[in-house]
Amino acid sequence: MRRTPITLPDLGVARAVLSLWYARVGDRVFAGDRVAEVLIPGATVDVPAPADGVLASQAVLANDPLVAGQMIGEIEAEAGE
Amino acid sequence: MTDRPALHAYLLGRVEFDALLALQRRLAYDVGGDRDGGAVVVCDHPSGITVGREGSRAHIRPEPEELTARGWPVRWVARGGGVLLHLPGQVACYPVLPLDRLNLTPAAYLVELQLLVIDLLAEYELRGVPDPLAPGVRVNGRRVAHVAAAVRGGVTAFGLVLNVDPDLEPFRAVHCDGDPLPMTSLQRESTARVRVAAVRQRLVEAVAARFGFARVSLFHTHPGLAPRPATHASASATR
């Protein structure tokens, strides 16, 4: 099954941390749904799902440091998509 | 599509925090659908404490009983920044803007908010400097403004809170953004008399200018803030 990585966009800072996941592994999401929240000094930023499907993995946990472009999880397309 | 983007400015009075959250969601929905536009809410809040994602209960010195006695409810909110004590005499400025159209990263947006405050302080002949520890602005070493935002679907929420002329003594009980130093205010630092209404108006103009809005529509209310009956009229009639 095809997997699409969820990558951290460029937030303009060298480092961010994962604040929390809004979706659990196995949750069905659509492209654009917020799946995670990232924290930079002074702001929270939602991370959207890049594709329709099921959240297949969470590569990072809350409070893990992140850098732009880092893969934080994966969306797996459902059968028939 | 227009080449003259419009800013919808809501110059409101005292707004309960729950009402503000609902209004922000509504405005973000509108701006998310029309990314040429933007909105800004300028208001103040009843006394109370909000805690952002970087905040901690340890930054609030009073025990729960004292918080109740002071009438300071504590709310945990999904924004950056730490603990903020909201008091009369502050002005909150919450831009609702599409960052992708403005070509700004979230970090760059926070810098713009700080520069906006610094420019405003300069009009009162005060030299504000960005706080190197947490987004905000200091004058003479003390924080005068807090910058704390959220970005949802590429649209901003929350923004900045400026101490215009609040009672500064209560801040001793709360370490705003984790800062143990006393706060200051525009009125305390300025030799001129500071009018809150003028500051509110200037904030709207500053947001429009800094983020490239050619037109400003000015409102003093929003339908979403209208009080709603506890029960529907038809439902109560059947009782």
Tens digit of each residue's pLDDT (9 = 90 or more) over B123-143: 999 999 999 889 999 999 999
Residues of the domain holding A52: 3-76
Distant-in-sequence, close-in-space partners of A51: CB < 8 Å, separation ≥ 6: A4, A31, A75, A77
What is the SS3 assignment for B160? Answer: strand
Mean pLDDT, chain A, rounded, equals 95
B1 token code pair: 């599509």
CATH assignment at residue A55 = 2.40.50.100
Condensed to tens digits (0 to 9), the pLDDT of residues B33-59 reads: 888 899 999 999 999 999 999 999 999
How large a percentage of chain B has pLDDT more than 90? 84
pLDDT band, residue B231 (cuts 50/70/90):
low
Taking the C-alpha atoms of residue B227 and residue A28, their distance in angstroms, rounded to an integer, is 37
ipTM: 0.93
Classify domain B6-223 at the CATH class level. alpha beta
Residue B13 contacts residue B43 (beta carbons within 8 Å)? yes
How are beta strands A16-21 and A65-66 bridged, if at all?
antiparallel
| Facing residue for B107 by CB, picked from A12, A32, A37 | A12
Q: Is there a domain that residue A49 lies in?
A: yes
State the nearest Cα–Cα gap between A9 and chain B, in angstroms.
Answer: 9
How are beta strands B6-14 and B48-51 bridged, if at all?
unpaired
More confident residue, B132 or B92: B92
User: How many other CB atoms sit within 10 Å of the CB of residue A57?
Assistant: 14
The pLDDT of residue B225 is 83
How many domains is chain A partitioned into structurally?
Answer: 1
Nearest CA in chain B to A45: B151
CB contact under 8 A, A41 and B80: yes
Measured in Å, how far apart are chain A's first and last C-alpha atoms?
Answer: 10
A-chain CB neighbours of B105 within 8 Å are: 10-13
The HSE-up count of residue B188 (CA atoms within 13 Å, CB side) is 20
Burial class (CB in 10 A: 0-12, 13-18, 19+), B230: exposed
How large a percentage of chain B has pLDDT more than 70? 93
Active site residue B93: no
Taking the C-alpha atoms of residue B82 and residue A24, their distance in angstroms, rounded to an integer, is 27
Chain A contact for B108 (CB, 8 A cutoff) = yes
Q: Is the pLDDT of residue B26 over 90?
A: yes
The pLDDT of residue B36 is 86
The pLDDT of residue B177 is 82
Q: In B43-69, which positions are buried (b, 16+ CB within 10 angstroms) versus exposed (e)?
A: bbbebbbbbbbbbeeebbebeeeebee
Condensed to tens digits (0 to 9), the pLDDT of residues B158-188 reads: 999 999 999 999 999 998 888 888 899 999 9
The pLDDT of residue B90 is 97
Q: Is there a domain that residue A28 lies in?
A: yes
Mean pLDDT, chain B, rounded, equals 92
The pLDDT of residue B92 is 98
CB contact under 8 A, B80 and A39: yes
| Facing residue for B134 by CB, picked from A12, A32, A42 | A42
Among B148, B157, B176, B186, the one annotated catalytic? B176
The pLDDT of residue A25 is 97
The pLDDT of residue B224 is 82
Nearest CA in chain B to A16: B107
pLDDT band, residue B228 (cuts 50/70/90):
low
Mutant choice from B50, B79, B116, B151 vs A, greatest count of A C-beta within 10 A: B151
Q: Is there a domain that residue A81 lies in?
A: no
Taking the C-alpha atoms of residue B114 and residue A67, their distance in angstroms, rounded to an integer, is 24
B-chain CB neighbours of A10 within 8 Å are: 105
The pLDDT of residue B1 is 47
Helix and strand element counts for chain A (H, E) = 0, 8
The pLDDT of residue B29 is 94
Condensed to tens digits (0 to 9), the pLDDT of residues A22-45 reads: 999 999 999 999 999 999 999 999
